Amino acid sequence: MTHRTLTPLLVGAAALAVVVPMASGANVQSSTQAACSSKTAGAAVGDSVLWMAAENYGQKRALQSALGGSSAKVDTRTSRQFSEGISAMRGALRPGACAAVIALGTNGPVSPGQWREMMAIVKRVPRVVVVNTYTRDHRSRRDGQQQYWMEQLNGDIEDLAKNKNVRVVDWYSKASTNPSWLEPDGVHPNASGSKQYVALVVQALRQK
């Protein structure tokens, strides 16, 4: 990815590369690893972007299929903050889960500590897919301050790829170069964009 900048967060959080070492004995994706099944079904946790794609535009079944079938948990909610997503992931993941999808960050900055907490939850999951974030007006002024949190957020997500079990979906690049995939708000995927969004996640889940 080439969109990353070094602009600091304006909310007081220091920039920090978020790298969580794999615990000793943790599972790592390999070329011989079996696909997800109903016995090892994974989970996806997201905010309104994933809600729009999975629930509103009917791509939930395709996502569940890649996560092991109908028993896979897809937990989405509009206006969800990352802190709530941490709790949701903790509750959604079953022991032995084959995969986890993290699609959060649309609604504000994420601190390094929050990333460490989330990655500790999924550290033994063989496939962890993290989707980065795009909103067309992320540099707009709010409450008298320009918001640069997305650059920091996507930079931290890019750093997560250093973990062997993590795959990053670059939704930022896809959405920014395909505006026809987005609703008029420039944030949420429309029907076509929802298919593309979920297809990218599924591709990452099936990547060897």
What are the tens digits of pLDDT across the range 171-188?
Answer: 999 999 999 999 999 999
Q: What tokens were used for 113? A: 């500590």
Of 38-52, 55-69, 126-140, 194-208, which range is least confident? Answer: 126-140
**Contact of 23 with 124, CB cutoff 8 Å:** yes
CB 187 within 8 A of CB 106: yes
State mean pLDDT over 2-22. 34
Name the CATH superfamily, with its identifier, for domain 38-206.
SGNH hydrolase (3.40.50.1110)
Report whether 48 contacts 80 (CB < 8 A). Answer: yes
Q: Where are the domains positioned within the chain?
A: 38-206
Q: What is the mean pLDDT of residues 145-164?
A: 86
